[in-house]
Structure 1
Amino acid sequence: MGDIRKAAVLLTTLPEEEAADILQRLEPKQVEMVSIEIAKLKSVSAEEQEQIIVQFAESNPAATADGGGLDRAKNLVQKAFGKNATGTLDTIRQAIEEVPFAFLRNIDSQNILTYVIDEHPQTIALVLSHLPAAAGAAILAGLPPERQISVVQRIAQMGQTSPDIIKEVELGLERRMSSVMSQSFENAGGVGAVAEMLNVADRATERQLMEQLSLEDAELVEEIRRLMFVFEDLSKFNDKDLQIVMKNVETSQWATALKGCSNELRDKVFKNMSTRAADMLKEEIGYLGPVKLSAVEAKQQEIVDIVRRLEDSGELELNPGGEQEALVQ
């Protein structure tokens, strides 16, 4: 994660007056770069925000950001520079207009599906990689099963894409959907993009796709699954499932892992312990003092791996999205 994105996320967590005051202290070029990044932000996950806040200062890790967007960026720049904001605002506007496939963000997912369903899987993968995860998931769910597998594999393997290819694909959609946008070189796709889409896809689509994909690429399935469930998702577990996890996790693992989590998750873990055990864990957390973020993340990943093993053994059934599954009579 780049420093510019970190600064953008941090500024979106602050009241606008305070964020504008910080912008006033930056060089004009720095203001432009940070403001453009804020304008590109759609929403910020609680996990990402917590990591950034922990790095910058001791703060409430459970707080959530209002998110970015062009309006947010404009408000900050206008409050920071008043009448002198025009030049920076023009730069931000131009940069946002160059985001690949930005025009599709205002079009219903089902309409996009109609235009891309017969395209080559590589073309569909390129388009989905530039859309928000929810839109990508909706389009993915509408594809035939065999096409879903091909598209997911290509998204996962995608890295940097030539701007000429991006432009060619977008111009094709431009002609058919009567929308025009310029292009820029961009990183897109990857296993993380697949995990984000499946996290918001309906359970039936997720399970069917993962089962079929496992027959062709078991390692890719495992990598996707590790990204789909994150440590903070433990806060969504019911008490019974959390207690199953806690029986398999050492106190020392919890002490380090809880240093970088939300208050909600920390309180839930304490609640599912005896008073004495919770007090001992709190003391151990206090004794640790400041801990490197990398060490915290490593312990959190250890617990995530334990959860995955419990799922594989049938002791747990993961449902990170908290969706209620239908019952069959």
Structure 2
Amino acid sequence: LAIAHQYVTQGGLDYAREILESALGPRKAKEILEKVQQTIRTTGFNLLENVDPKQIVNFIQKEHPQTIALLLAHMEPKNAAPIVSALPQELQVDVATRIATMESISPETLDQVEEVLVSQIKSLFGGDVSEIGGVKAVAEMLNSVDRGAEKNILGNLERENPELATEIKNLMFVFEDVLLLDDRSMQRVLKEIDTKDLSMALKGASEELQEKFFRNMSSRAAEMIREDMEFMGPIRLKDVEEVQQRIVDVIRRLEEDGEIIISGRGGDEDIVV
């Protein structure tokens, strides 16, 4: 693939096709060239990562929401987050919804977007990708935006599309993210969790995560949980995940009420220690 990329760079697509077809045959040559084109086009989107978010916002906020969603879906969620936060509130919701529900995009559509935008920004905007955006992309984005933008987007989605909002919220904070909680928050969470649920949830957790819980409870309570886990026997993964999700729901509720802090979330600058 690297050699094919070099052929394209040196002599263009036709030159690369001619060499590859003579060496590998038309079918294999076409397959390789498609992968090379995908790499080249996707790199064009990656150039956005080096542009000041404020400049991107000034440029895209006048574009159609679907175009904005397409561009942001091609960016790393952590880089797209400040752009989402800077958009007008009504546009935040529209764009987040479009990214979450985005499906496969054809190369032709991306080429059309590229033609419109390339004249205004000296970067390539294209990419032959089959899967972009989606609920996970929005969840990762919302994990990094400030709390105001998160509440605005989720609040509107809960009214307009409750099922989509629930999907996004379930992916925003997963059970393994308990490691982000400080000790005081952990102790507050433990007050809300049933011992039997915790034993089952930790049955499918990493050793590091188990120790995070044990470290924030008494030695006697930790020993009881360990014994419960030992005598529990095999458990269906589905049951473990359901209990873990219940604990995640408790954590999100406590965070929304301002009773705990999740490290690394947007809006920490407002915290007074």
Residues 257 and 297 in structure 1, CA contact (< 8 A), matched pair in contact too: yes
Match of 1:257 among 201, 212, 224: 201
Q: TM-score, normalised by structure 1?
A: 0.62
Give the Cα–Cα distance (whole angstroms) in 1 for the partners of residues 41 and 264 of structure 2: 33
Match of 2:39 among 96, 105, 128: 96
Q: TM-score, normalised by structure 2?
A: 0.73
Match of 1:225 among 153, 169, 182: 169
C-alpha offsets along residues 83-140 of structure 1, whole Å, 9 cap, x if unaligned?
xxxxxxx998665324372332333333322321210111101111111102211111
> Offset at 1:200?
0.7
Match of 1:137 among 81, 87, 106: 81
Residues 38 and 127 in structure 2, CA contact (< 8 A), matched pair in contact too: no
Give the Cα–Cα distance (whole angstroms) in 1 for the partners of residues 91 and 63 of structure 2: 10
Q: Which moved more, 1:94-103 or 1:269-278?
A: 94-103
Match of 1:196 among 127, 140, 146: 140
Give the Cα–Cα distance (whole angstroms) in 1 for the partners of residues 177 and 245 of structure 2: 12
Give the Cα–Cα distance (whole angstroms) in 1 for the partners of residues 125 and 253 of structure 2: 46
Give the Cα–Cα distance (whole angstroms) in 2 for the partners of residues 94 and 214 of structure 1: 39
Distance 1:104 1:226, change over 3 A: same
Number of aligned residue pairs: give it: 240
Give the Cα–Cα distance (whole angstroms) in 1 for the partners of residues 187 and 160 of structure 2: 35
Match of 2:227 in 1: 283
Structure index of larger Rg: 2
For the residue of structure 2 that corresponds to 1:161, the secondary structure is coil
For the residue of structure 1 that corresponds to 2:138, the secondary structure is helix
> Offset at 1:158?
1.4
- Give structure 1 stretches of 5+ with no counterpart: 1-31, 33-89
- Give structure 2 stretches of 5+ with no counterpart: 2-32
Match of 1:207 in 2: 151
Distance 1:126 1:113, change over 3 A: same
The alignment status of 1:120 with 2:64, answered yes or no, reads: yes
For the residue of structure 2 that corresponds to 1:249, the secondary structure is coil
For residues 65-104 of structure 1, the aligned pairs below 5 Å read 96-99=39-42, 101-104=45-48
Match of 1:154 in 2: 98
Greater RCO (CA < 8 Å, at least 6 residues apart): 2
Give the Cα–Cα distance (whole angstroms) in 1 for the partners of residues 156 and 248 of structure 2: 24
For the residue of structure 2 that corresponds to 1:184, the secondary structure is coil
The alignment status of 1:302 with 2:272, answered yes or no, reads: no
Give the Cα–Cα distance (whole angstroms) in 2 for the partners of residues 140 and 324 of structure 1: 18
Residues 98 and 181 in structure 1, CA contact (< 8 A), matched pair in contact too: yes
Percentage of pairs with the same residue: 41
Residues 199 and 320 in structure 1, CA contact (< 8 A), matched pair in contact too: no
Distance 1:182 1:219, change over 3 A: closer
> Offset at 1:282?
1.8
> Offset at 1:161?
2.1
> Offset at 1:245?
2.5
Give the Cα–Cα distance (whole angstroms) in 1 for the partners of residues 112 and 231 of structure 2: 58
Residues 107 and 128 in structure 2, CA contact (< 8 A), matched pair in contact too: yes
What amino acid is the match of 2:62?
A: D
For the residue of structure 1 that corresponds to 2:78, the secondary structure is helix
Residues 214 and 221 in structure 1, CA contact (< 8 A), matched pair in contact too: yes
Give the Cα–Cα distance (whole angstroms) in 2 for the partners of residues 177 and 324 of structure 1: 33
Give the Cα–Cα distance (whole angstroms) in 1 for the partners of residues 164 and 34 of structure 2: 40
Match of 1:178 in 2: 122
What amino acid is the match of 1:255?
A: S
Give the Cα–Cα distance (whole angstroms) in 1 for the partners of residues 264 and 178 of structure 2: 11
Residues 105 and 131 in structure 1, CA contact (< 8 A), matched pair in contact too: yes
Indicate the RMSD between aligned Cα atoms, in angstroms: 3.2
Residues 157 and 191 in structure 1, CA contact (< 8 A), matched pair in contact too: yes
Match of 2:212 in 1: 268
Residues 171 and 180 in structure 1, CA contact (< 8 A), matched pair in contact too: no
